[in-house]
Chain A
Amino acid sequence: MGKTLFDKVWDAHVVDSIQNGPQILYIDKHLIHEVTSPQAFNELEARGIPVFRSNQIVATADHNTPTINQDLPIKDELSRKQLEQLSANCAKNDITLYKLGHKYNGIVHVMAPELGITQPGMTMVCGDSHTSTHGAFGTIAFGIGTSQVAQVFASQCLLLTKPKSLRVTVNGELKKGVLPKDVILYIISKLGTNSGTGYFCEYAGDVFENMSMEGRMTVCNMSIEMGARGGMIAPDETTFEYVKGREFSPKGEAFEKKVSYWKTLPTDDDAVFDKEYYFDAEDIEPMVTYGTNPGMGIKISETIPVDDNASFKKSLEYMNFEAGESLIDKPINFVFIGSCTNSRIEDFRVAANFIKGKQKAHNVTAWLVPGSKQVEAQIINEGLKDIFEDAGFELRQPGCSACLAMNDDKIPQGEYCVSTSNRNFEGRQGQGSRTILASPLVAAATAVAGKIVDVTKDIETLELA
C-alpha cells in the first residue's frame, strides 16, 4: 500500500517507538513567541536542563505587541515584562530573536515562511495552534502546549501518537470573488469544528493545486478550527518557486538536491486515508460566520439556519442574531484585516483593488494590520498604503493585534467586527465583542458599505488582484 504525504514526512522523523505507546518524533524547527514560552524556559531552568538545539529555534514577538508606536517603550507593564523576558531567555540560550522593530519581525506564521525557515518535508512546532499554517509547504506543522515547548527545548523531540489521516478534495474552478478563506470557511461549515480531531488533514484537488502559497497558508491555517492538529498540501512547482532564494532557503546545488527529495513527498496514488471528503469548487461562495465557533458559517447569500440545540441558541443570543435571518445589510462598525490567516501581501492587494477610488463608510473603524515588517514594506512599496489611507483605512504596524486582542486593539463590548482572522469565539476580539469571520474581500466591501453587502451581486464588475 502506498504512503500519504503525511506518512512520508512523519516516518522520516521517527526516532523510536514505545511499545503500545507513543513515538518519539524529531522536530526540525521550533518557533517560539513571548506568550507560551516563558513557563517552558522557567521549567528547564528549575530542573537544570540546557536547551538542546538552540540553532533550530527561532523566536519572534507578536501576540502581545502594540501596532502603533512600536519604536516607543511599551506602556502596558505586563506586556513589556513578557517581551523583556523573551529577549532575556533568547540571549541566555543563544536563540535567534526577531524582536519588535527588527526588519524580520512579524507574526510567527507569516515571518517564518517568508524567510524560508519553513520548507517542505520538515517537522515544525510552535506553542500556537495556528502552526498548522506551515503545512501549506508539505510540512508537518502543529501547535503544542507549553509543557511540550519545554520538551522540545530539552530534546528537540516530542512523544506523540501518530494521528489518523483525512483528505479533503476540492475539484473544479472557484467563482470570481471566492477566495482561499471562503474555501476553508466553507469546508469547516460543512464538516464542523471537531470532524478533524485526531486527524492530520491533506487538502487535494484542482483548487489547492491552482492556489498561491499565500492562499494555501490561509487554508492550512484554519485546519485547527475543524479540530485537525494540522493540514498539508503537497509541495509542487508553486512551492519550490516560493521557497527559492529566500533568506534561509538552501542555495544552488543544495536547493536542487532538496527539490528532488521534495518531489518524492506527494501522496502515492494507492495510498488510503482513514476518512475522505469531496467538494465541488462551483458550490463555494463568499462566506460569513454568524455564531461563536468557526463551523457556524453560511454563504453570504444564505440565511442563518434554525436549530433547537441549546448551545446553538446560546451562540445566536450572544451574537444578537435570529435563526432564519440574513446577515445582508447588518450595520458593522469595525473591520479588521490581519492575523496569521489573512495578513500576507496578497490579502492586502485584494483589499486595495476593491477599495481603490472608494471611501470607507463614516461609521466604520477599519484596521489593516500587516503580518510582518516585510509585508508592511511591500504594502508601502507597491503603493497600497496610499490607496488605504486615501480611503480612510488605518494601516497599523505588524502583530497578532485584534485577532486575539491581547494588546490594546480591542473591539468594544457588543460591537460587531467583520474580521479576516480565524476565531469568532465569545469575547475573542475583546470582552463582549462579536466577530464575523470573512475573506479580505468581504471585509473590504463591508468597510466601504458600512454594512454587510452581498459581494456576489456585483462579482462580475469586481476588480481583483
Chain B
Amino acid sequence: MEKFTTLTSRAIPLAIENVDTDQIIPARFLKATDKQGFGDNVFRDWRFDKYGSINKGFSLNNPIYSGSILVAGDNFGCGSSREHAAWALVGYGFKVIVSSFFADIFKGNALNNGLLPVQVSEVFLKTLLDTIETHPETNLEVNLENQTISISNSDVSESFDIDPYKKTCMINGYDDIDYLLSKKEQIQAFEAEKTY
C-alpha cells in the first residue's frame, strides 16, 4: 500500500449528500477480476449522460476544478461494500476524501487502499465547499501526522480523528494482512481453546 504523510492539493467539490457506492462505481462495471481500470468509470452516470456525452454540469467535468482531494457531502460512501468504489476513486487520482460523515465499510475500504477519509465538522465542510466554489485555485493541506486539514495561506484549519493503528499503517504503508500473519500462533491457540 502507498504511504501517506502530507498532501497539498487543489480540491474538487461534490456538494451532494448520501453519495452511495452505486454512484461511485455502478454495478455493471464490477465484472473485472483485477483492481485496474475502475478510475475510468468513477461516477460514470453523473459524469456522462445516457448517450455517453459529457455532463458539463458535473463538478468532476468542470475544468475550473482539479486536484486529488474530493470534498463531498454528508454520509459519503453509503450502501454496498464494494471495494471497487475505493479502487475507482484511487484510480481516478484521488488521495483524500473529505466529508462530514463516512459510511463504515467505505471508510475501512478507503483506509485499506491508501485513500485517506478526513471527517470534518459540518461547519468546516461548508467553509471548504464555499471556498473551493468561489476560489477553485485554493489549495488544501492535509497533514496525517498532525491530523489536521487546512486551507493554504489562511488560518482556517481543523483537526480530524483517525484510529491510531490505521494512522500508523497509512504513514508506513502497512496493511492488516502483515499484522494478522504475525499473530498466526495466537490465532491457532485461540482455535484450540475456543469456548463456544
Q: Which residues of A contact B (CB under 8 A)?
A: 12-13, 15-16, 18, 20-22, 24, 26, 35-36, 38-39, 42-43, 47, 49, 52, 63-64, 76, 78-79, 81-82, 85, 121, 127-129, 143-148, 150-151, 154-159, 161, 163, 193-194, 197-198, 224, 227, 229, 261, 293, 309-311, 314, 404-406, 413, 423, 425-428, 431-432
Additional A-B contact list (18), CB under 8 Å, known A13-B196, A15-B183: A16-B183, A24-B183, A36-B82, A36-B83, A39-B33, A39-B34, A78-B31, A79-B31, A81-B33, A121-B196, A128-B80, A129-B105, A145-B82, A151-B177, A154-B177, A155-B183, A159-B176, A198-B104
Chain A nearest Cβ from B78, distance in angstroms? 6
In the bound assembly, the distance between CA atoms of A42 and B84 in angstroms comes to: 15
In the bound assembly, the distance between CA atoms of A190 and B56 in angstroms comes to: 36
B83 touches A15 (CB 8 A): no
In the bound assembly, the distance between CA atoms of A413 and B49 in angstroms comes to: 11
Q: Is B103 an interface residue (CB 8 A)?
A: yes
Within 8 A of A (CB), among B19-42: 20, 22-23, 26-28, 30-35
Contacting residues, chain A, for B108 (C-beta < 8 A): 144-145, 148
Chain A nearest Cβ from B106, distance in angstroms? 8
In the bound assembly, the distance between CA atoms of A49 and B178 in angstroms comes to: 11
Chain B nearest Cβ from A289, distance in angstroms? 13
* Contact string against A for B residues 73-108, beta-carbon threshold 8 Å, 1 for contact and 0 otherwise: 111001111111010000000000000011111001
In the bound assembly, the distance between CA atoms of A36 and B32 in angstroms comes to: 10
Chain B nearest Cβ from A127, distance in angstroms? 6
Among the 9-residue stretches B5-13, B133-141, B187-195, the one with 4 or more Cβ atoms under 8 Å from chain A is B187-195
Contacting residues, chain B, for A310 (C-beta < 8 A): 15-16
In the bound assembly, the distance between CA atoms of A194 and B119 in angstroms comes to: 14
* Contact string against A for B residues 130-159, beta-carbon threshold 8 Å, 1 for contact and 0 otherwise: 000000000000000000000000000000
B28, closest chain A residue (CB)? A406
Contacting residues, chain B, for A78 (C-beta < 8 A): 31-32
Chain B nearest Cβ from A232, distance in angstroms? 15
Q: Which residue from A64, A311, A406, A428 sits with its C-beta under 8 Å from B18?
A: A311
Chain B nearest Cβ from A443, distance in angstroms? 21
Chain A nearest Cβ from B195, distance in angstroms? 6
Known: A26-B187, A39-B34, A129-B105. A159 touches B179 (CB 8 A): yes
Q: Which residues of B contact A (CB under 8 A)?
A: 15-18, 20, 22-23, 26-28, 30-35, 45, 50, 73-75, 78-84, 86, 101-105, 108-109, 112-113, 163-165, 175-177, 179-181, 183-184, 186-187, 190-191, 194-196
Q: Which residue from A127, A157, A405 sits with its C-beta under 8 Å from B27?
A: A405
B81 touches A127 (CB 8 A): yes
Known: A12-B196, A143-B105, A311-B73. A154 touches B181 (CB 8 A): yes
Known: A22-B165, A144-B105. A15 touches B177 (CB 8 A): no
B175, closest chain A residue (CB)? A147
* Central interface residue in A79, A147, A158, A311, by most chain B CB within 10 Å: A147
Chain A nearest Cβ from B117, distance in angstroms? 13
Chain A nearest Cβ from B94, distance in angstroms? 17
B163 touches A22 (CB 8 A): yes
A432, closest chain B residue (CB)? B50
The 4 closest A-B pairs by CB, nearest first: A21-B165, A147-B112, A145-B109, A78-B31
B22 touches A145 (CB 8 A): no
A413 touches B27 (CB 8 A): no
B30, closest chain A residue (CB)? A35
B86 touches A145 (CB 8 A): yes
In the bound assembly, the distance between CA atoms of A81 and B34 in angstroms comes to: 12
Contacting residues, chain B, for A151 (C-beta < 8 A): 176-177, 180
B81 touches A143 (CB 8 A): yes
B187 touches A157 (CB 8 A): yes
Chain A nearest Cβ from B14, distance in angstroms? 11
In the bound assembly, the distance between CA atoms of A43 and B35 in angstroms comes to: 10
Contacting residues, chain B, for A229 (C-beta < 8 A): 104-105
Known: A78-B32, A155-B181, A423-B22. A129 touches B79 (CB 8 A): yes
Contacting residues, chain B, for A155 (C-beta < 8 A): 177, 180-181, 183-184, 187
B32 touches A193 (CB 8 A): no
Contacting residues, chain A, for B73 (C-beta < 8 A): 311
A159 touches B180 (CB 8 A): yes
A120, closest chain B residue (CB)? B196
25 A-B pairs within 8 Å (CB atoms) are namely: A15-B186, A22-B163, A26-B194, A36-B81, A49-B177, A78-B32, A129-B105, A145-B86, A146-B84, A146-B109, A148-B108, A150-B177, A151-B180, A154-B180, A155-B177, A155-B181, A156-B187, A157-B187, A161-B163, A224-B79, A311-B73, A406-B28, A423-B80, A425-B22, A431-B50
A406 touches B16 (CB 8 A): no
Chain A nearest Cβ from B22, distance in angstroms? 4
A431 touches B45 (CB 8 A): yes
B31 touches A404 (CB 8 A): no
In the bound assembly, the distance between CA atoms of A423 and B108 in angstroms comes to: 21
A22, closest chain B residue (CB)? B165
Chain B nearest Cβ from A27, distance in angstroms? 10
Chain A nearest Cβ from B44, distance in angstroms? 9
* Central interface residue in B82, B83, B113, B196, by most chain A CB within 10 Å: B196
In the bound assembly, the distance between CA atoms of A261 and B17 in angstroms comes to: 44
In the bound assembly, the distance between CA atoms of A12 and B28 in angstroms comes to: 39
Contacting residues, chain A, for B196 (C-beta < 8 A): 12-13, 121, 261
Contacting residues, chain A, for B86 (C-beta < 8 A): 145
Contacting residues, chain B, for A314 (C-beta < 8 A): 16
A291, closest chain B residue (CB)? B18
B190 touches A26 (CB 8 A): yes
A426 touches B83 (CB 8 A): no
A154, closest chain B residue (CB)? B177
Known: A151-B176, A293-B20, A311-B73. A157 touches B183 (CB 8 A): yes
Q: Which residue from B74, B186, B191 sits with its C-beta under 8 Å from A16?
A: B186
In the bound assembly, the distance between CA atoms of A193 and B75 in angstroms comes to: 8
In the bound assembly, the distance between CA atoms of A229 and B175 in angstroms comes to: 22
